[in-house]
């Protein structure tokens, strides 16, 4: 049984305990964001115990010079990383001469709550100093109605005796990343200013030989106290401005301080206009905390109205799906096509905060279901806008066409692990699959016919150059790759990679024949013939006796044994075994063959799905956060309902229960989409093959019912599953659907018994 760090409540993360040993995990779990910026659940007043201080601005990054022992041709010149930005929530609190620090100061009645209905993080405790008791309550949120706005309030309630309180509000640019090389910093000062009511700090990323763009980030803080104070303003140094206020608080008295901060970046506003822009933002927003919170709550309510998944009978499942949805929407809501979704979002620094193939494989189907098509289209345009950079990446490897990066901020590859960056080329196929998925789901072929076709052609040229022809076998093969299962490197003929490459060539050829005459893409007849030859002769390893697709050429030569044969102390493998031992083992990090079966489910029989699932799932340790959701979906399809539920719980509570012992460095944002996929595509069996929407729901044993909304081709549907399935057309025109393989016309609602 995994440990829960918060109480099980449907809409909230709540704890009445504080333990330094768990602080990194709880900091991650209480992260907040608004798509424009975000932060970990750090303590405003500072904390000298175990902490990862982190505040991040979307699109602001640094090309940190790559340091490797042996640099080879084709290696990226830098490792791109999201960088810790201005700490604008910082406060220093002193009560009767004692600086408050929960690592040192005696406290009682600790309380912390993240309200997922509105994104408000609350924390309170009582400090007892020589018999005088003061309750301190912190509230903060990042506005989703004014993206640049941070709202923060600290309240002091004197319970026993009187106290002298000093609050030092800061804008602090003395920050660095946890993974900085040799503790280097990334910022230099631009401007500092402090007045009786405002603080202003502006700083710019340092020069770097690989800078394609230097970023300026500025913060303007407006301070309002409920009790008259005499502020003593001071500028500490070039990267820190602060405001000190002192007041005496009597027994039973309450005093609060509201700190509103506007954060501006050079991504949107010219440096010279940062201060005036921030002033305008603060001028047009309320100075009343209650009004600002009410506005935030109303805006979140609109989001939840059509995206919430309601579950009855399992409060842990209910809490976890809302937690995952909340963190996803806090990270990305499609407002800025220049942005994408990092695996850790705003919650930590692992993976550099960059874009991975997770977006195309996992996030695209989620956003198609819960948001307007324009949100997903923004993700597609993100890749089209970086097509030139993808061609550069391929050229760096001496190959034709376009190779989309494994890790990037600007389209240029910025990750320096060879076996991942240059062998895990299946991500190129995921880019093409996202175009197909969008077109198939929405029925809108405008992107495919234009920008999408340009992307597909260049990806296909890469695959046609990356394969090689085996004269001995009269087959095309792909050697030296790493599949999604990163516990095997440099293998030959990874089934998933080969299948995906063939599919991309087939899909591109078909799209070119349909739309090529009107597009910018130009593919000579000889090239099309070469593509067809590869399609016809692509080698796909399989084993007829076992009835499975073989993960790669030599996989069955391994010491094949299930995960159940391992001792408990062996897991997780990535924290217990050497990398060499992992690579030689038969154990699988995440779905590989099964990933392909999930993508192209209409191309395989139910018997093929079952045989491959039954063979590969027992070998899978699920130490990739992306793994459980795919297994949940396929398990549901083949009737393994208990396994589907087990895998759902694992993906849904991966971070909440710290399954892989790695929540401390941030949440698994992109894999959180898998929670939604496991319910909608898994439990409810939603499919969209052949331009037809279909469902085949089942009800997990310990659930009483569940329901959700989806957007589909201009319509909004509500699906409710209990002893019967009810599908309602909330808005839009009549729709032809399938339910348990029977055709229905949905004009109002349909109800049938669950099978």
Instruction: Indicate which residues carry an active-site annotation.
Output: 486
Cβ atoms within 10 A of the Cβ of 33, count? 24
How far apart, in Å, do the first and last CA atoms of the chain sit? 31
Which residue do the tokens 């491959």 mark? 612
CA-based max dimension of the chain: 90
Closest to 354 in 3D by CA, of 428, 391, 405, 403? 405
Other C-beta atoms lying within 10 Å of the C-beta of residue 539: 19
Please, are residues 2 and 114 in contact by the beta-carbon 8 Å criterion?
no
d(Cα 174, Cα 598) in Å, to the nearest integer? 47
Q: What are phi and psi of 265, to 5 degrees?
A: -130, 160
SS3 of residue 51 by DSSP: coil
How far apart are alpha carbons 282 and 220 in whole angstroms? 9
Give SS3 for 631: helix
Comparing C-alpha atoms, which of 39, 37, 77 is closest to residue 59?
37
Bridge-based pairing of strands 749-753 and 724-731 is antiparallel
If 0-12 CB within 10 Å is exposed, 13-18 middle and 19+ buried, where does residue 518 land? exposed
Burial 209-236 (b: 16+ CB within 10 A, else e): ebeeeebbbbbbbbbebeeebebebeee
Within a 13 Å sphere around the CA of 32, how many CA atoms are in the beta-carbon half?
26
DSSP class of 4: P
CB within 8 Å of 631: residues ≥ 6 apart: 591, 594, 613, 617, 620, 622, 643, 644, 647
d(CA 630, CA 639): 14
CA 168: distance to chain centroid?
34
Distance in angstroms (rounded) separating the CA atoms of residues 618 and 487: 15
Are 628 and 653 contacting, i.e. CB atoms less than 8 angstroms apart? Answer: no
Instruction: Supply 535's token pair.
Output: 């399609």
Question: Whose CA is closest to 487, among 584, 377, 559?
Answer: 584
Q: What is the rounded distance in angstroms from the CA atom of residue 524 to the CA atom of residue 516? A: 11
Q: Sign of the C-alpha dihedral, residues 212, 357, 557, 582?
A: positive
Question: Would you say 674 and 590 are in contact if contact means Cβ atoms under 8 Å apart?
Answer: no
Q: Which residues pair with 112 in a beta bridge?
A: 15, 123
Whether 507 and 456 have beta carbons less than 8 Å apart is answered as: yes
Q: What is the DSSP letter of 172?
A: E
Nearest one of 730, 633, 640, 647 to 684, comparing CA atoms: 633
Q: At what angle do helices 387-396 and 453-466 cross, to 10 degrees?
A: 10
């Amino acid at each position: 049984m995994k440990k829960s760090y918060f109480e099980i409540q449907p809409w909230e993360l709540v704890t009445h305990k504080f333990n330094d040993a768990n602080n990194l995990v709880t900091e991650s779990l209480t992260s907040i964001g608004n798509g424009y910026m975000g932060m970990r659940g750090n303590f405003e007043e500072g904390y000298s115990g175990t902490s990862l201080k982190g505040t991040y601005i979307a699109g602001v990054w640094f090309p940190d010079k790559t340091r490797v022992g042996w640099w080879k041709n084709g290696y990226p010149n830098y490792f791109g990383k999201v960088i810790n930005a201005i700490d604008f929530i910082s406060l220093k609190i002193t009560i009767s001469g004692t600086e408050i620090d929960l690592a040192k100061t005696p406290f009682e009645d600790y309380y912390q709550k993240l309200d997922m209905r509105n994104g408000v993080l609350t924390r309170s405790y009582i400090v007892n100093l020589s018999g005088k008791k003061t309750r301190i309550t912190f509230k903060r949120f990042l506005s989703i109605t004014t993206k640049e706005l941070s709202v923060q309030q600290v309240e002091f309630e004197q319970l026993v005796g009187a106290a002298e309180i000093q609050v030092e509000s800061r804008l602090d640019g003395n920050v660095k990343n946890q993974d900085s090389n040799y503790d280097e910093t990334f910022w230099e000062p631009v401007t500092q200013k402090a007045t009786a009511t405002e603080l202003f700090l502006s700083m710019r990323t340092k020069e770097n030989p690989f800078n394609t763009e230097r970023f300026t980030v500025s913060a303007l803080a407006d301070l309002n106290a409920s009790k008259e104070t005499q502020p003593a303003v001071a500028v500490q140094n070039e990267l820190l401005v602060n405001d000190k206020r002192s007041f005496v608080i009597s027994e039973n008295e309450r005093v609060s301080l509201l700190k509103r901060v506007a954060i501006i970046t050079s991504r949107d506003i010219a440096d010279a206009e940062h201060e005036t822009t921030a002033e305008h933002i603060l001028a047009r927003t309320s100075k009343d905390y209650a009004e600002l919170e009410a506005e935030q709550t109303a805006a979140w309510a609109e989001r939840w109205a059509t995206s919430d998944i309601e579950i009855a009978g399992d409060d842990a499942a209910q809490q976890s799906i809302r937690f995952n949805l909340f963190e996803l929407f806090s990270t990305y809501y499609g407002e800025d096509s220049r942005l994408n979704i990092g695996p850790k979002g705003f919650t930590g620094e692992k993976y550099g905060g960059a874009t991975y193939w997770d977006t195309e494989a996992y996030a695209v189907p989620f956003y198609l279901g819960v948001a307007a098509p324009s949100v997903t289209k923004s993700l597609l345009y993100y890749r089209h806008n970086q097509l030139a950079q993808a061609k550069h990446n391929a050229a760096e490897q001496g190959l034709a066409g376009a190779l989309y990066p494994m890790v990037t901020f600007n389209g240029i590859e910025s990750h320096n692990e060879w076996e991942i960056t240059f062998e895990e080329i299946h991500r190129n196929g995921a880019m093409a699959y996202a175009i197909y998925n969008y077109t198939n789901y929405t029925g809108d072929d405008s992107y495919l016919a234009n920008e999408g076709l340009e992307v597909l052609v260049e990806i296909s040229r890469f695959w046609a150059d990356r394969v090689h022809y085996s004269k001995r076998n009269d087959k095309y093969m792909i050697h030296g790759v790493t599949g999604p299962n990163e516990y095997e490197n440099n293998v030959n003929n990874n089934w998933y990679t080969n299948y995906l490459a063939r599919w991309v060539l087939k899909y591109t050829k078909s799209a070119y024949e349909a739309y090529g005459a009107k597009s910018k893409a130009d593919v000579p007849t000889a090239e099309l013939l070469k593509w067809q030859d590869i399609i016809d002769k692509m080698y796909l390893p399989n084993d007829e006796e076992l009835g499975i697709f073989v993960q790669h050429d030599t996989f069955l030569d391994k010491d094949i044994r299930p995960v159940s044969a391992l001792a408990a102390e062996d897991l997780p493998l990535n924290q217990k075994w050497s990398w060499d031992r992992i690579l030689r083992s038969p154990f699988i990090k995440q779905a590989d063959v099964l990933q392909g079966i999930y993508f192209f489910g209409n191309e395989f029989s139910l018997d093929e799905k079952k045989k491959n699932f039954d063979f590969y799932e027992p070998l899978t340790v699920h130490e990739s956060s992306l793994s459980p959701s795919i297994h949940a979906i396929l398990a549901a399809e083949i009737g393994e309902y208990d396994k589907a539920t087990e895998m759902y719980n694992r993906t849904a509570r991966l971070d909440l229960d710290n399954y892989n012992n790695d929540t401390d460095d941030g949440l698994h944002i992109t894999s959180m989409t898998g929670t939604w996929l496991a319910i909608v595509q898994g439990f409810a069996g939603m499919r969209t093959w052949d331009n037809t929407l279909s469902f085949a729901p089942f009800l997990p044993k310990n659930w009483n019912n569940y329901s959700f909304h989806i957007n589909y081709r201009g319509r909004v549907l509500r699906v409710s599953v209990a002893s019967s399935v009810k599908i309602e057309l909330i808005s839009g025109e009549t729709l032809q659907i399938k339910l348990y393989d029977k055709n229905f016309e949905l004009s109002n609602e349909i109800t049938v018994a669950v099978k």
